Each structure stands twice: as C-alpha cells, then as structure tokens.
Chains A and B, each alone.
Chain A
C-alpha cells in the first residue's frame, strides 16, 4: 500500500525550494495542489449535490402526490358505485311500497310473487316482511318463520318511524352469510302507517370491492362507524370482526391519509363515509409497494450521484496533479537555468581572475627570472665570480622558484582559456593530470594518496576540452570533499569499446546513503554534508556530461566509498538540445 502511494506520489510532493525565501509559499506545490483540488471539487460538487437533492425531493413529492391522488380517485369511484348500488335497492323497494296497497302487501301470495320477481332481477334478496304500526310482523315471505314477531321495542323500528327509512349494519344471517336489511315506512291515507322490510346478502358488495383488482398488498372493505368490518377483507380480517386500524374521523369528502398499520408498516389509507348508510369505505395500500417505482428511480439517482462524484474526483485529481506537475517542472527548469547561468558567471569570473593574476604575476616574475638569470650568467661567464657555490646555489634556487611560479601561472592561464567552448583533440590522461595538478598541494597537506591507472591505448579524441576539465575537476573535488585525511582516491581511465572511454573516480570516503543517490544529480539537491563540497553542484556536472554526449553514473556504499563512472564518446557531437533534455531528466529523475 505504501509502495503504491510512493509510486503514485507526484514528484513535486517532496520538493522544497529553500532558495525561494519569502516566496516559498508560491512554490509550495503541495499547498497549490491541495487548494486547487479543494476548490475544483467544491465548485463541481456543490451544485451537483444541491441539484440532486432538490430533484430527489421534487420527484419524491411528485410520486407521493400521484399515489395519494390515485388512491383518492379510486375511493371516490368506489363510493359512488356502492352508493348507486344501495340506491337502486332502495328505489325498487320504494317503488313496491308505493305501487302496492297495504292489503295487497299483506297478502302473502302477492308478497311471495314480489320476492320472486326481486330475486330474478336482483341477486341476493333473501326475504320480505310487512310490519304494522304497532311493530308486529303482519306478513313475511322468506326462509325464517318470523310471522307475528314484535319489533316495537327495537331501535331500527324506532329509527324507521322517525326517519322514514333505515339501512342496517351487516349481520350474520341465513346460511351464515352476512346480510343487511333495508326498511321503508309508508304512510296510509287514514293516518296510519306500515313498514316494508327486506334483507339481502352482501355478496354483491363483496363483488364490487373485489373487482377493484388492487395490486400487491392493497385491500378494500367496508366498516361501520364502530369499526366492525362489514365485508371480508384480504388482510384485515373477516366480516363482523373488529378492524385493528382506528376508525377515521368523519368527513363529507373522500380523504387520504398516511399512517401505520397493525404491523407497523407504512400504509396509504383512503376512506369515505357513504351517505345515508352506516358504512365507511376503506382502501388500504402498502406505502412501500406503491413507492417501488420511486425506489428504483431513487437508486438510479443515487447511483448517478455516486458515479458523478467519483468521476469528478478522479478527473480533478488527475488534472490538478498533471497541471501542478507541469508548473513544478517548469519552475525546476527555470531554477536549473538560473542555477546554470549563475555557475557560468562564476566560472567566467574565476577565469578572468585567473588570467589577471597570471598577468600581474608573470611580468614581475619575468623580470626576476631575467635578473637572476643575468646574475647566474655573470657567475658563469665571468670566471672571477664563479667560484662561490653558495651564490650559485642561491641563484639556482631563485630560478627554480621562478619556474615553479611560472608553471602555476601558466596553468591558471590555460584554465582561463578553457572556459570557452573549444573543440579539439584532447588527451584525457593529460587532462586528468592537469586537474590533479591543481589539487596536488591539498593532497600533500592532507596525505591523500592519489593513483592514476590509465590504459596504454587511450587515444586523443575530439571533444570540448574545457568541459571535460570542469567535469573532472568537479568529480575529483567531490572525491576530495568525501575522503578523510589519509584517504585514497583512484582515477582509472580505460578504453571501454570502439566508441567510448571510461573514467572512474573512486574514493574510500564517507559514501552516499541509498536514499540520496537517486537525487544526487538533481539541481537543488544538497545533503549539506561534505558531499556538496565545492557548491558547484553535480547537476551542472550532469548537464556538462550530457552536453558532450557522455553519461555519468554513481555507485556508493555508506562508509565504504563512492565511485563516479564517466563514459565519454570518442566522436564528438554537439548536443545543442541537450541542455533542455538534461534538465528534464534531472527534474524527472
């Protein structure tokens, strides 16, 4: 996991430019990355989430309203159907009572004829009875022997006298089938009255309700005002059982409410009081069932949101990382270029200074040389002076010192001249010796043992002498910085193959930790230990090597030493584009 993170971690993550100073925040790529990610994700996600939440609410409410509306319409239609059904029965009984005289109706033959006609035209009629004003059954046709029964004390009889008509609750009647009864009062011209009472079973009701074809857990049934089921229901009990749901409050209109059923499930409950009857029509539907379509839509909506958020985050991460990496690379290149210019200026100054020192010193040196030479000449050519070995010795010593100084100033002049790009034949062994010549004294003082192992067959080859000199100077300087006093440095020069020569600079110094070795050629890398040494920077060396078409590698073991291996091509090709490339390489590497 950590290696995966390491792998995915962009290069700029650990970059920190100490030289940026007060502008450091500008070059804090991690901060730029974080703030860009935050802003882009916020700008993209906030409206998306907002819109999705609004859409969620709107769609949910629309679905809910639709469900309530549909339930309400169903309840209304069913109520109308039931109302018409009862009205039809009431109308036909009303017709019978008006069309037949009291006497006729009291004639049981006629009454039976009427019952038969009713049973033919309408299903469900069970019996017919005539009750006189005293509440006594004066005539009856039907399966019971109710003739002469007295109803004067019964509530329904009192109600029919008072209101002129009556519809009963459902009761268990003939053949254990639920029945209901309808009664009408008819006033006679003599001021007297009688009552026609008919009962019929509730099969027809049940048919109407069961024909509603309610999907899934839907249920339609009638209850009376006390909450007793008047018809059988699918899920809420049989006829004449008490309904477990509460009796809804009275309303003239169809009502739809959301509530919980006896099992605690959410249900949509539509109900209507059927006028002039003791019945309440109820339609109960499971909310979950109705919302199924909505749940599907909701899953799609949430899925869409999750996919969108994921892709936005991935895209934003990708784009921002890419952009910040690009900025970082551009900055790195800029810094490297600045670093290089600084280095080149420094080298040019050193060159100018070297030339001017050489010049200033050379003229007096030439005079000393001539004067001492003359003194010696005088001793040598005029024999009278020639006998004093002490004088001769002193003059020789002066001349030797002049020669030494001359060698130093000549070397300085040569170094100054090599600052410019001059392509020409280079004897690598000589260059190595020249470079070591600069460091001879230091090596002596520090008792550093330097060995040069050069193959016999190292040819002269065309290249940029100045650059080779700088590269070697930098690497050997590094080696000097790394070794302790009394240490060893070996320079090996070998013919690698037909096309290249290898120079290895091997020291037995402090070594470079494995963690740093990857970055050692990066422009701003410094351990601030002895490795940095000259401050000229291995990145410059790397750039110079690339420019003359060579390669440079480093191997190191902490405490054991370091080996820089330089491969130089025997045929020189100027790489004008190499500077750019090499920077990219060092930034990337």
Chain B
C-alpha cells in the first residue's frame, strides 16, 4: 500500500515514514497541504493527515485529496484537544480512524489495514 503522511511537524513525519518503510510500507511525507497537493505522478491508497496545520487544515485537505486521488482512504491524527476540532474531525473520519498523538505504530498499521477494507468515503 502507498501511504502519504501530512503533518507540519517534520521530525514526526519523516521518522514515521522511515518506520513504515522499515516495515515494508511505502510511505511518502510532506509538511503542508500545499506540498501534498503539488505532488505529481504517484497514487496513494491512504493519507494520514494531521488535523491542525497552518493554512490548509486536515479536513480541507481531505476534500481536495479526494478529488485528486479518487478512492483514497483517510486516517486523522491530532495532538489537539480543541473540542470543535475534535468533533468535526471525528465526525469527518469516524471516531475509529481519528487517533490522538502519540500513536503506537502497531495501532496505526492495524487501522490502515482496517480502513483499506472499507469502501472509500
């Protein structure tokens, strides 16, 4: 499976991507919505998005990526406790695919496998 990681914390995404790579999961990373939308050529099965990012939020990015990569699945990650974010994010992703940082990598991989089996939304 091809995974795209989007989080403004570079230290987080590059490490996470490396760990996924170690586990033979192809993962690319970018640190903003703009970069994600600028990517060319590759198809992704799953996007793991941070909810709160500068300029383009995870929720907005989801809509745009759905157009760009039809059939793509999403998992959200957040470090934030703002209730509005939580509610809208959880509603958007379904609370099962909405993970609060720090995330255990095994849980993340399990969720990825789960979400792939569901029809894309």
Residues of chain A whose beta carbon lies under 8 Å from any beta carbon of chain B? 354-356, 358-359, 362-363, 365-371, 373-374, 377-378, 381, 402-403, 405-406, 409-410, 412-413, 416-417, 420
Pick from A355, A356, A377, A405: contact of B22, CB below 8 A. Answer: A377
Q: Which residue of chain B has the shortest Cβ distance to A354 in the bound complex?
A: B81
Pick from A363, A377, A416: contact of B79, CB below 8 A. Answer: A363
Min distance, Cβ A401 to any Cβ of chain B, angstroms: 11
B117 at the interface (CB under 8 A from A): no
Given contacts A359-B81, A420-B83, contact A366 B101 (CB under 8 A): yes
**Chain A residues whose CB sits within 8 angstroms of the CB of B68 once the complex forms:** none
B56 at the interface (CB under 8 A from A): no
Complex interface: stretch among B7-15, B32-40, B41-49, B59-67: B7-15
Min distance, Cβ A311 to any Cβ of chain B, angstroms: 63
Task: State in angstroms the CA–CA spacing of A56 and B86 once bound together.
Answer: 87
Among A366, A377, A378, which residue has the most Cβ atoms of chain B within 10 A? A366
Q: Which residue of chain B has the shortest Cβ distance to A355 in the bound complex?
A: B81
Q: Is the CB of B22 within 8 A of A362?
A: no
Given contacts A374-B18, A416-B83, contact A363 B101 (CB under 8 A): yes
Task: State in angstroms the CA–CA spacing of A416 and B83 once bound together.
Answer: 8
Interface size of B by CB at 8 A reads: 22
Task: State in angstroms the CA–CA spacing of A420 and B86 once bound together.
Answer: 13
Q: Is the CB of A367 within 8 A of B83?
A: no
Pick from A359, A371, A409: contact of B11, CB below 8 A. Answer: A371
**Chain A residues whose CB sits within 8 angstroms of the CB of B83 once the complex forms:** 355, 416-417, 420
Q: Is the CB of A371 within 8 A of B81?
A: no
Q: Is the CB of A374 within 8 A of B101?
A: no
Q: Is the CB of A412 within 8 A of B102?
A: no
Among A365, A370, A374, A402, which residue has the most Cβ atoms of chain B within 10 A? A370
**Chain A residues whose CB sits within 8 angstroms of the CB of B30 once the complex forms:** none
B1 at the interface (CB under 8 A from A): no
Q: Given A358-B80, A366-B103, 18 more contacts at CB 8 Å? A: A355-B82, A356-B81, A358-B79, A358-B81, A359-B82, A363-B79, A366-B9, A366-B79, A367-B12, A367-B15, A369-B103, A370-B12, A374-B18, A377-B23, A378-B22, A381-B22, A403-B104, A406-B101
Given contacts A370-B16, A370-B19, A373-B19, contact A362 B11 (CB under 8 A): no
Task: State in angstroms the CA–CA spacing of A378 and B82 once bound together.
Answer: 35
Task: State in angstroms the CA–CA spacing of A430 and B100 once bound together.
Answer: 20
Q: Which residue of chain B has the shortest Cβ distance to A413 in the bound complex?
A: B81
